Amino acid sequence: MRRRLRDARVGRLATVTADGRPHVVPCCFVLDGDTVYTAVDDVKPKATPALRRLENIAANPATSLLVDHYEEDWSALWWIRVDGSAIVLPEHPPAIALVTAKYDQYRRRPPPGPVVVLEIERWRAWP
């Protein structure tokens, strides 16, 4: 389970809005021990630097990350969800180094941050 999460290329980061609604966005991430890091990059255009996910975490740290694998051969399907508490840091050089090492696109242009730090409290998976 840990290897699958570590090796996954994209996840879906789920936060909760101020009015209690789910907010899910795809993200690049890295697993380090029992911590997930995802950094805001400037490679892909953003409508605003005040991203909803960052506001959500500031108001309610309950956060999940879901990764999954799909194939037409359904015997190969799997998913992993980690739940925990997250914080947003304006910068985190060790986390930036980890995501930069994982993604070639970031080697050319490392993400400036901020960085979401998700401390895993619970693992769920299927199968």
> pLDDT tens digits, residue range 36-95?
999 999 988 888 888 999 999 999 999 999 999 999 999 999 999 999 999 999 999 999
33: left (phi over 0), alpha (psi -120 to 50) or beta: left
Task: Give dist(CA 53, CA 24) in Å, integer.
Answer: 8
What's the whole-number average pLDDT of the chain? 96
Task: Give dist(CA 84, CA 6) in Å, integer.
Answer: 17
The domain locations on the chain are 2-126
Nearest Cα neighbor of 92 from 77, 113, 110, 62 is: 113
Dump pLDDT digits (tens) for 50-63: 899 999 999 999 99
- pTM > 0.85: yes
User: Topology of 2-126 in CATH?
Assistant: Pnp Oxidase; Chain A (2.30.110)
